[in-house]
Amino acid sequence: MTEAYHEINSKFRKELAELHEEGESLNHCYQCATCSGICPVFRYNSKYNPRRLIEGMLTGKRDELIHDPNIWLCTVCHNCTEVCPQGVRVSELLATLRNLAARAGNIPEHLRAEAKVLIETGLVNAPSKATISRRAKMGLPELKTADPAEIRALLEHLDFIKLAAKEEKAVKEESGGGKQQ
Amino acid sequence: MASSSSGYAMFLGCVIPNLLPHLEISIRKVFGRLDVEVKDIAGFSCCPEPIGTPGLDITTWVTLAARNLCVAEEAGLDIAAFCNGCFETLKEAKVLLEHDAKLRSKVAEALSKIGREYKGRVEVKHFAQVLYEDIGPAKLRGYVERPLEGVRVAAHYGCHILRPSHLLQVDDPFNPVLLDALVEATGAESVDYFRKFLCCGCGVSNLDEAANIKMVMEKLHYMTQAKADCMTVLCPVCFRQYDVRQMIINKTYGKDYNIPVLYYTQLLGLAMGMTPDELDLKSNRTKVDPLLAKLAGGK
């Protein structure tokens, strides 16, 4: 979409460039939409359009993007990064965008649930009693996975437990700023 | 660090041992016969998975991965990953930690809180790389007792073994040879088909199941059109997408797709002369019978 120049806010690009080692590559985008052309999700769901998301990053639509639930539709196939003729690290930028969204509480329910299991067990698919007995019956060895307490300590230190519980505020906050929390 | 002769730490991940233990049977049986040793070691957590976790927080994702690298490092072993997702996470973390000083210091600080230090000496390989690079297709043929001659296999690489290629450094991201060569090592033919590199779509399945179903159906359609007798995959998540979803699609949408899905060690196991029972192929949702009949009749 065409934007009036006065609406462009470059603070967001700078923030993204700071957050990711290759975030700077964003500035090379010339909006050719090769990323959207190869995106397997966009083919079936036009709500997920990588080119539009990159455009939003370039023009500083921070609030709109980090509160958009559709940014989570990505399958993380990395096709976009591979084909970008300008070397924009599209999938890395989109992951960085999702990190900001998560900090604003925009987290889909299935990922909250997954994070909960990770925090509790250190795994995203923890063995059920049925699994344990099925494995034994099949003659497979007992699983010796990480001590959940160690993983939890690490996640606590990383503020991940707090992050996964973060709720999204209904009110929109200031746009273009670097401090959402 | 460790050379392949001392073996690898087996990184099975969360999906194979808990949801698809029959794949683990084929892994253990096949690797049990090969010259490369894969070892069980204690202490791995979730890799963690490369879709949701880095979406929530990239630093957490890399830190947990780095902790897993520490566990292998302490055991003096390189890692062989049996899931594309685990492979991407561990390999990408390794490469990012080599290049990104800011991230490296954040991760080191977090690991120090649990008394660990990552020294950067672990190599991470996908098990398909171990087969292709350490053993090689030519030598692999030497293990084949029942060549799968006349069998047309649709190879599905999956995304997370190939891309992002600048970090994973495995093969060409859209024109790889690795799995095709491994398929041909079994005596089968790796058939070309449209949409060979289409993502399995697992990442979108929770939020837009319809889109995911269409992605799976598209792939099944073109594999059928290419007259594939079966498909083979390198990732348990892709496996579930095509094996379990194929049944659901057939029931729900009145389709009649009939593409048996085999994890690569299941396919290789058959070629090595193992019986379907030994490989627990009956636990696959898709019926492998047509493929077995073709094998029995063909030779």
Which of A103, A135, A155 is the last residue in one of the domains?
A103
Tokens of B34: 């090969």
Give the global pTM: 0.95
CA distance A142 to B188: 35
Contact yes or no for A78 and B207 at CB 8 A: no
Which residue in B84, B111, B204 has the most chain A C-beta atoms within 10 A of its own C-beta, making it the best mutation to test that interface?
B204
Closest CB to A157 among B19, B110, B215: B110
CA distance A160 to A125: 18
Q: Does A145 touch chain B (CB under 8 A)?
A: yes
Residues B1-31 pLDDT 10s: 544 457 999 999 999 999 999 999 999 999 9
Does A92 lie in the same domain as A35? yes
Tokens of A163: 């992050």
Contact yes or no for B59 and A146 at CB 8 A: no
E strand or H helix at A11, and its extent?
helix A11-19
In terms of pLDDT, which residue wins out, A177 or B165? B165
pLDDT tier, B140 (very low <50, low <70, confident <90, very high otherwise): very high
Which residue in A83, A137, A158, A162 has the most chain B C-beta atoms within 10 A of its own C-beta, making it the best mutation to test that interface?
A158
Which residue in the block uniquely carries the two structure tokens 């171990």? B130
CA distance B83 to B161: 9
Q: Which amino acid does the sequence have at B276?
A: P
Which chain A residues are within 8 Å of B196, Cβ to Cβ?
none
Q: Mean pLDDT across the stretch B33-55? A: 97
| 3-state DSSP of chain B | CCCHHHCEEEECCCHHHHHCHHHHHHHHHHHHHCCCCEECCCCECCCCCCCHHHHHCHHHHHHHHHHHHHHHHHHCCEEEECCHHHHHHHHHHHHHHHHCHHHHHHHHHHHHHCCCCCCCCCCEEEHHHHHHHHHCHHHHHCCCCCCCCCCEEEEECCHHHCCCHHHHCCCCCCCCCHHHHHHHHCCCEECCCCCCCCCCCHHHCCCCHHHHHHHHHHHHHHHHHCCCCEEEECCHHHHHHHHHHHHHHHHHHCCCCCCCEEEHHHHHHHHCCCCCCCCCHHHCCCCCHHHHHHHHHHC
Residue A153 lies in a domain: yes
**By residue range, what is the domain housing residue A19?**
5-103
The complex scores an ipTM of: 0.95
Measured in angstroms, the CA of A155 and the nearest CA of chain B are apart by: 7
- Of A76, A133, A174, A103, nearest to B59 (Cα)? A103
Angle at B174 between CA B20 and CA B256, to 5 degrees: 50
Measured in angstroms, the CA of B130 and the nearest CA of chain A are apart by: 22
Q: Mean pLDDT across the stretch A18-29? A: 94
For residue A33, give the DSSP letter.
-
Q: At what angle do helices A11-19 and A50-59 cross, to 10 degrees?
A: 110
Contact yes or no for A160 and B58 at CB 8 A: no
Contact yes or no for A154 and B110 at CB 8 A: yes
Which residue in the block uniquely carries the two structure tokens 């990953």? B81
Residues B222-234 pLDDT 10s: 999 999 999 999 9
Contact yes or no for A82 and B164 at CB 8 A: yes
Residue A181 lies in a domain: no
Which chain B residues are within 8 Å of A105, Cβ to Cβ?
none
Contact yes or no for A77 and B67 at CB 8 A: no
What is the structure's pLDDT at A169? 86
Interface of A with B in 59-118 (CB under 8 A): 72-79, 81-82, 89, 91-92, 95-96, 98-99, 102, 107-108, 110-111, 114-115, 118
Residue B209: CA atoms inside 13 Å, Cβ hemisphere, count? 6
Whether residue B130 has pLDDT greater than 70: yes
Domains of chain B: residue spans and CATH:
4-127 (1.20.1050.140), 146-295 (3.40.50.11810)
Question: SS3 of A138, please?
Answer: helix
Does A168 lie in the same domain as A138? yes
Taking the CB of residue B165, how many other CB atoms lie within 10 A of it? Answer: 16
Whether residue A176 has pLDDT greater than 60: no
Whether residue B164 has pLDDT greater than 70: yes
Measured in angstroms, the CA of B20 and the nearest CA of chain A are apart by: 10
Which of A72, A103, A134 is the last residue in one of the domains?
A103
CA distance B135 to B141: 10
Does A97 lie in the same domain as A10? yes
- For chain A, the domain total comes to 2
Which residue in the block uniquely carries the two structure tokens 């799968």? B148
What percent of chain B stands above pLDDT 90? 95
Residue A117 lies in a domain: yes
Contact yes or no for B58 and A76 at CB 8 A: no
CA distance A137 to B27: 17
Does A13 lie in the same domain as A78? yes
Q: What is the CATH classification number for the domain harbouring A92?
A: 1.10.1060.10
Mean pLDDT check: name the lowest of A3-17, A19-33, A123-137, B237-251: A3-17
Which chain B residues are within 8 Å of A141, Cβ to Cβ?
40
Q: State how far Cα B86 lies from the chain centre.
A: 9
Tokens of B2: 């460790």
- Of B122, B119, B112, nearest to B41 (Cα)? B122
Does A170 lie in the same domain as A123? yes
Q: Mean pLDDT across the stretch B251-276? A: 97
Residues A25-62 pLDDT 10s: 999 999 999 999 999 999 999 999 999 999 999 999 99
Measured in angstroms, the CA of B174 and the nearest CA of chain A are apart by: 9
Residue A99 lies in a domain: yes
Does A11 lie in the same domain as A90? yes
Does A82 lie in the same domain as A12? yes
Pairing of the two strands B38-39 and B261-263: unpaired
Which chain B residues are within 8 Å of A40, Cβ to Cβ?
198-199, 201, 215
Whether residue B85 has pLDDT greater than 80: yes
Whether residue A174 has pLDDT greater than 80: no
Closest CB to A163 among B57, B103, B202: B57
pLDDT tier, A122 (very low <50, low <70, confident <90, very high otherwise): very high
Closest CB to B18 among A82, A127, A160: A127
Tokens of B118: 């990552």
Tokens of B28: 């253990």
Residue A84 lies in a domain: yes
Sign of CA dihedral B46, B48, B52, B53: positive
Closest CB to B159 among A73, A78, A158: A78
Residue A180 lies in a domain: no
Q: Mean pLDDT across the stretch A94-119? A: 98
- Check if the beta carbon of residue A9 is closer than 8 Å to that of residue A58: no
Residues B265-290 pLDDT 10s: 999 999 999 999 999 999 999 999 99
Contact yes or no for B17 and A144 at CB 8 A: no
Closest chain A residue by Cα to residue B59: A158
Q: Which amino acid does the sequence have at B114?
A: I
What is the structure's pLDDT at A8? 85
Does A97 lie in the same domain as A130? no
Q: State how far Cα B297 lies from the chain centre.
A: 30
Does A129 lie in the same domain as A77? no
Q: Mean pLDDT across the stretch B197-221? A: 97
Contact yes or no for B46 and A124 at CB 8 A: yes
Does A133 lie in the same domain as A93? no
What is the structure's pLDDT at B6? 72
Does A17 lie in the same domain as A90? yes
Q: Does A134 touch chain B (CB under 8 A)?
A: yes
Measured in angstroms, the CA of B171 and the nearest CA of chain A are apart by: 13
What percent of chain A stands above pLDDT 70? 90
Q: Mean pLDDT across the stretch B100-109? A: 96
Which of A74, A103, A132 is the last residue in one of the domains?
A103
What percent of chain A stands above pLDDT 90? 87
Q: Mean pLDDT across the stretch B113-124? A: 97
Residue A124 lies in a domain: yes
Does A131 lie in the same domain as A59? no
Whether residue A68 has pLDDT greater than 50: yes
Closest CB to B58 among A45, A96, A140: A96
- Check if the beta carbon of residue B12 is closer than 8 Å to that of residue B236: no
Contacts of A127 (CB under 8 A, 6+ apart): A135, A143, B17, B18
Mean pLDDT check: name the lowest of A85-99, A166-180, B7-21, B55-69: A166-180
